Structure 1
């Protein structure tokens, strides 16, 4: 039985443009769900509908077989068993972190556990005004985890963080996923952040879900160029020239391997990317880009090219 279920959802802010539309969506309990899409694709709207913070124009959302919306007749918006952390959260001023967090009635042992989990123990005696952006993010996350939600909704938790604090908050979210049974849905403005974390990824475009799959499936088997482009470099190749398939292929650079056999192509450019180089090769049929270890090829080299496709469908 699905844990979260959306049926016939429609939500619009303007008559000529739906913000989100979904005929059916079912999510299992305890899963980590990534939500990706371009700006304005409906990612935040989907989170808010699931969390009961926004009611759709039509349709139903059920959690564990019970409708989310009958619980919305409350002074504080949102479903009481769901926690939503927006990208524009604010902490109260003129208060110490420990005072802010301990407003929740919770046992000391559990408080210490969550403070450690969220990497905020060393911040407890600080004033909230003295915190960096990354520290504020972890404190805000600790606050919602202390409420022991059944579902955690994270709206771009990595936005506006420097690499150091982004790495820390990634570790925190990873540990929360491992050490609790909370179901987590996360939006990220950089979809590549979702690949190593999520069990499944939903791809949204113009308010509709265009693909659902495992990280490997949406990365290596995108349904279209829109999905492919969200996750980095790709190229569209004539399938008849590379395999028995007649349709065009969407291929990542690492799916193409350069070798010294056949030497049917010529290296036209080499682009350095730190831990790898992107090698542009002109073949008899088309120009392709493949990844290689730094220093392996130079402009003008003659190379062979092979393609490896793997089926990651469930």
Structure 2
């Protein structure tokens, strides 16, 4: 099978398409013929040598496709089913992949958009859970037009929370379409939020970083009301919780995606799709900052 791999650290030029033996589904796992796989910032960090140091490395943890092998002990899924999901080990940016966590693909969802959901949904749900966001909560989400943030907005709204989301002027209409009140980044953030919520907000979720934590702490009433998914150093400096998954995963959310999408409470993400053999181009687009949506690799 074809798979994305790199054997040295560097820029997008180190990425290569190699032929590897197809994996098999072990106990409690399924294998899919991959129709689309998500590309995330962590893939670019790994390629650059900023994360895992072993070589060579395969890439990708989220994918959508068609089940073609079911491991021992697995129930509720059959060969031929359309699913989306996550793998505990990298390597789903390939023609075939083993998933450790999965859910049925929403009937109205194409593979490319579905492959953009699992990581963003798990990350967003984990942050909201850590904050205790529920019906009646007013939450400020920093960076509400990004892939994780846009899902976080919609999940919070689906829980019955009120949402204020930060975004650049060009993203305000999009944030509003997701169910949040948009406000601008920067020095005007505090006054803009206070204009909407004079008493401040109940909770704040930081997905964008960029030094926003002091303002989020002030608006939410203290560091205990803030969780960041993006600013590890700032979290240490300001006593804010930092979540990267080792504090518990929100994998249950995969099973909720179908109903949320079909009911219209979760819009399918915007995607930029590239064939597998154009993975280097996909990485360059991600690094450019010009991708107004999630980058995915598709089968041809």
TM-score by length of 1: 0.26
Which structure shows the bigger proportion of residues in strand conformation?
1
TM-score by length of 2: 0.27
Which structure shows the bigger proportion of residues in helix conformation?
2
Q: Which has the higher contact order (CA 8 A, sep 6+)?
A: 2
